[in-house]
Structure 1
Amino acid sequence: MKFHVCGGLDAPDWILANIVTLSTLPAVKVKLIVEQILQRILEGEFNYDNVMKLTGDSTLGESDVKACIAVLHFFIASSAKFDVEESTLARELQQLGLPKEQSDAVARPYWENKEALQSKFLQQSLQLPAILVGAWQAEIGESKKVIMRLTTSNKDSEKVKEGGNKDLLVTLTAEKFQTLLHELKTARALMDEYT
């Protein structure tokens, strides 16, 4: 079965193996652990001792608690990544075997912090300066190679000032250049569909 929270794929086996363990925790404790995970993602602070105290009266061992934390972190992070609605998250958690109360204990705090989560993940995503093709030329002869000079578009960045960024020369055979050009045009067409 495919799940939105898993990016339209099947749930990973480790999630399925640990969902039963997570379902043994009361909904109130699940909500408190979710709040600790949200604090970890948004502020960088995680009170592991507090989580261990919360689960101290349960029959869970330390490895089980760590597994529950990992499962909850996966659901929260993936839900934000794939822009999952609160009702969809709760429904899919129930389909995976988590009782309704625990599912709601995960979905509600996630929904209240969804925009902050997405903003935080966007800040943490890899961002590179745009690369422009400064010049290119085709060699005529038996080698038939295409030489491209690539430069970054962000000329006033600190790395350029320090001499860290330099032009990059790329040499391709004519066949590889045609393949690259075709793939770039395909990627551009796909991007244009979503804008």
Structure 2
Amino acid sequence: MFSPRAQALHERWLSLRTEGGTMLPTWKTIRINNLANILSEIWVMDYVAPNAMIVRFVGSNAERICGNTTGEDFLNTYIAAENRAALLDIYKTVHEARCSAILTRMVSDPSEPYRAIISTVFPLAGDGPDSWSLIGISEITNAAQASDQTGYDFEHTALAPPVYKDIGFGLPDQAHQCENTNAYVKKREGY
């Protein structure tokens, strides 16, 4: 189940796909049609081979969570080295399977009440033949809400397995889901 803001993005994503008659909307389509009430909440990243995700856009409210990272390589600047390949694999799965993913990461110190960032990610077509992008919305929530969203206990881990959602094209195969789940979930060690 998507949060209300993620559901609004999903509905707009679906309408843009339908309007353009394409498999996936593009960022240009998103900008032209404007997301009005949630544009300030979203972010967009472009894949740059072989292993970079360059931030193209961060809405003003999204900056409260991730800062103004426009133009930066999100994976290689903000993600721990041991998690980069697995997270890139999840992003590639979202694009290749044309599905959505809900990613949940604990962000509070283990001695504080748990807080989590829940990011909901959707695929976008790229500007060229071998390019692709992602659009997403990230929200900060408490751990109880995060556990309700993912069904996951965060007592010993900082990252929950990705939850893939069918958005009209099906889901990735189970073997692939298990592979990147095992790589992505790490033991929780104070951070």
Give the number of the structure whose alpha-carbon radius of gyration is greater.
1
Q: Which has the higher contact order (CA 8 A, sep 6+)?
A: 2
- For this structure pair, what is the TM-score category when the shorter chain's length is used for normalisation? under 0.3
Q: So what's the TM-score if we normalise by structure 1?
A: 0.24
Query: Where is the strand percentage greater, Structure 1 or Structure 2?
Result: 2
Query: Where is the helix percentage greater, Structure 1 or Structure 2?
Result: 1
